[in-house]
Amino acid sequence: MSAETRRNNPKSFLDHLEEFRFTLIRCLLAYAVGFAIALPCTPAVLRLLTRPLAPPHAPLQPALLQSIRVAGAFTLAMKTAGITGLLISAPLILFLLGGFIFPGLTQRERRAVLFASIGAAALFLVGIFLGYHTTLRVALQIMLQLHHWLGIVPGWTMDSYVSFCLSLLLAFGLTFQLPVIILTLGSLGILSSSLLRAKRPYVIIGLFVLAMLLTPPDVFTQLMLATPMVFLYETCIWILFFFEQNTTHTREVP
């Protein structure tokens, strides 16, 4: 059914509500499958998360991470498997939500959303990869050095440690969605390179504030998150500029 036919024969509100209900059920089933896949992998995921805590070529201190509650291991396993399962099922969930949204979009909008979904998944993984290999180890070592500087013996709980690591990695993954949002809005004609240039000073300040809110309270980690965000913002300006050049043949340079 074409977009014009759908506009001429719109569904009722109850039909949309029923379709949305089935979409939510499918998304929950997709998440359940992701959780079932992630649960047996929880020990491997925890080993991966604790690896940046140890100095290079040195074993992890056995007493550094502890579980002080009787049900601590169960809670930790459920939390880790829950977040890992969400990451596994996210592409399928986006596809199902896109199937619900696509019928109401024009061909151009459907194409933009499709490329945005693919780009969002790829950049999310890139953000997590960079956060894990560049920032997580540095942030953990800074936290350890602060404990030593204050004369405090670190004895972190596994729950707080995993929450710290996952929140930092998710922050990197989510902030790497910035280009997807900007380029999607630009392709739809809502944003332009000239508007992005005009708002550049305010956006850069906002990105540093966002990095401060999403990362541990140390300047170095905040800079390691804010710097790639500023770079991605500048890259979006150039991409939109060349896109506008191809469509309008203007000669303006950002």
In 10 A of CB 67, how many CB atoms? Answer: 14
pLDDT at site 61: 54
Tokens at 241, concatenated: 């500029």
pLDDT at site 248: 61
pLDDT tens across the length of the chain (254 residues):
444 455 555 566 677 788 888 889 999 999 999 999 999 999 999 888 888 876 655 555 555 677 778 888 898 899 889 988 988 888 788 778 777 776 666 776 677 677 777 778 888 888 888 888 888 888 888 888 888 888 887 778 888 888 888 888 888 888 888 888 888 788 777 888 888 888 889 989 988 888 888 776 677 778 888 888 899 899 889 888 888 787 665 444 45
Return the exposure string of 202-238: e unless at least 16 CB atoms fall within 10 Å of the residue's CB, then b: ebeeebbebbeebbbeeeebbebbbebbbebbeebbe
| pLDDT one-digit tens code per residue, 66-116 | 777 888 889 889 988 998 898 888 878 877 877 777 666 677 667 767 777
Report how far residue 79's alpha carbon sits from residue 146's, in angstroms, rounded to the nearest whole number.
27
Q: Which residues pair with 115 in a beta bridge?
A: none
pLDDT at site 2: 47
pLDDT at site 28: 93
